[in-house]
A and B are shown apart, each in its own frame.
Chain A
Amino acid sequence: MAYAPTAFLAALGRPVLEYINTAGAMTLFLLSGIYHIGTSRKIWQRSLQQVYLIGSKSLFLILLIGIFCGMVLGLQGYYTLVQFGSVGMLGSAVSLTLIRELGPVLTAIMLTGRAGSSITAEIGVMRISDQIDALDVMDINSMAYLVSPRIVASLISFPLLTAIFDTIGIIGGYLTGVLMLGINQGAYFFRIQNSVTLVDVTGGFWKSLVFALIVTTVCCFQGYFTHKRRDSVGPAAVGNATTSAVVISCILILVADYILTSFLL
């Protein structure tokens, strides 16, 4: 009985320490990945391949989600604004919501599911089949070979896809607001031009860069250390690592979004 409070504190502290440990390890992992951008041979060639895998292959998904997101915003925005007699503000509402918040966040979450999970699975399989050991044995730095190009590719792809998401979302809002519900076309675009400032655009841009670093770090980290998982081994570990990567990335994206928004506003 005398040990109960200590045992309780230990049970509480152990996972907290583990989380702090993992957070520290992830930060060092990211820093190592960034450092090796400078030391990696053929970094641009490999990054370009990753831009294709992370960026180009996700384009259709982003277009699809973007257009429907914009259309829903147009619809919801119209029926809310019409109650206040200010449907003319629809362009403003749609564009600011997309550029400031939904564009960066939804793009990052979509890319986590589409590209991040694939990064974790690929690196995880490489780990359990000795491919990463083989790279190290050949004196090929596995961080420089696997992680650094993906960081560069994400830093290029995320902001571009976010910009595409924002643009296509605004067009989606136009489809419902102007073409379906009859808002004046000029008013829609005038409000966008009038309300969106450079600060909004750069804010979204910074967010997408931070999300790119979060997603790449978490997904590469989970794959790279698949063999150190304690809950499973082999192929099951790759599956669990992929699930963890997606869940942790999504949580961190939303947490980082809140922190960044509070600084940017």
Chain B
Amino acid sequence: MHTASWEIAFENLSLGYGERTILRDITATLPAGKISVILGGSGCGKSTLLKNIIGLHRPQQGKIWVGGKDLFDLPRAEYRRMRRHMGVLFQDGALLGALTLAQNVALPLSEHTSLPKEVIRKAAFDTLAQVGLREFGDYYPNELSGGMRKRAGLARAIIASPSILLCDEPTSGLDPITAAKMDNLLLSMKAHFADMTTVVVSHDMQSVKKIADYVLVLRDGQAVFAGSYQSLATSNDPYLQQFLHRTVEDEEQRRHEEQDPRVHAAIQDWLAS
């Protein structure tokens, strides 16, 4: 399989830990220069797939092609060079607690370039401004809300102008307004870095509808759909419909079991005490 530009392609990808299989025989291509969303329920292997692309997990079988190169077949030095083209937003931002926001954002530049301190600091504050956090540059991560930490994580991911931006659940745990801001940010990133391939792991359907050019749906570690959001929305597949409309099949609904009378009585006693 060959890919062009900054396409990401999975070829018969399988991964597991011990006897537990997380990903099974995934074959798909995430198009270059677009926002691709990896969608699926909790524990279906979305984040694991993302960590495969970053190279934090090695697949048991199959290949990942990034920019036309087999990621796990590259010599170490070239593999490191390849990874420099990737910016990653981790679930909670993964900002270094000992550094301020500006120092966190500046990290790729301060570690890999010989630019003067003031130039790097200005670049960090400018990038923070892109995510609306310029005035929080001297704050530490623990002084900020979850949404702000995610935006700062996004700033750190984009400061080195990556060719591939990978975001792990950028809107999870955020209120609807902050989540919408994050969606807008991702769209503005796409406008700003026209050739950048963006991969977003999510199960937030509103977000997917707003940002996705391409959707890959996982279920129990297998790819069950790949295509545009429009074709996903018109799919007749019962699982996809459940996902889209937030419903469950009757047989999957758990029956409300009667509470053990002893437990009920104990709780009543405790409440009355």
Q: State A137–B54 Cα separation when bound (angstroms).
A: 7
Query: Chain B nearest CB: distance from A255 CB in Å?
Result: 33
From the candidates B86, B95, B96, name the one contacting A137 in the complex (CB within 8 A).
B86
Q: State A41–B110 Cα separation when bound (angstroms).
A: 10
Query: Chain B nearest CB: distance from A257 CB in Å?
Result: 33
In the complex, what residue of chain A is closest to B114 when comparing beta carbons? A41
Chain B window 43-84, contacts with chain A (Cβ cutoff 8 Å), 1 for yes, 0 for no = 000000001001010000000000000000000000010011
Q: Count A-B pairs with CB separation below 8 Å.
A: 47
Chain A window 119-134, contacts with chain B (Cβ cutoff 8 Å), 1 for yes, 0 for no = 0001001100111011
- Is A139 within 8 A of B83, CB to CB? yes
- Is B111 within 8 A of A138, CB to CB? yes
B28 within 8 A of A: no
Q: Using Cβ atoms and an 8 Å threshold, which residues of chain B touch A129?
A: 92, 94, 97
Q: State A137–B52 Cα separation when bound (angstroms).
A: 12
In the complex, what residue of chain A is closest to B89 when comparing beta carbons? A134
B3 within 8 A of A: no
Q: Using Cβ atoms and an 8 Å threshold, which residues of chain A touch B97?
A: 125-126, 129, 131
A interface secondary structure, majority: helix
- Is A137 within 8 A of B92, CB to CB? no
- Is A139 within 8 A of B84, CB to CB? yes
B88 within 8 A of A: yes
A233 within 8 A of B: no
From the candidates A122, A130, A133, A138, name the one contacting B107 in the complex (CB within 8 A).
A138
CB under 8 Å from chain B, chain A span 101-157? 122, 125-126, 129-131, 133-140
Q: State A100–B80 Cα separation when bound (angstroms).
A: 48
- Is A140 within 8 A of B90, CB to CB? no
From the candidates B51, B88, B111, name the one contacting A140 in the complex (CB within 8 A).
B111
Q: State A136–B84 Cα separation when bound (angstroms).
A: 10
6 smallest CB-CB distances across A and B, nearest first, come from A130-B94, A134-B94, A130-B90, A137-B88, A140-B111, A138-B108
Binding site for A on B (CB under 8 A): 51, 54, 56, 80, 83-84, 86, 88, 90-92, 94-98, 107-108, 111-112, 156
Binding site for B on A (CB under 8 A): 41, 122, 125-126, 129-131, 133-140
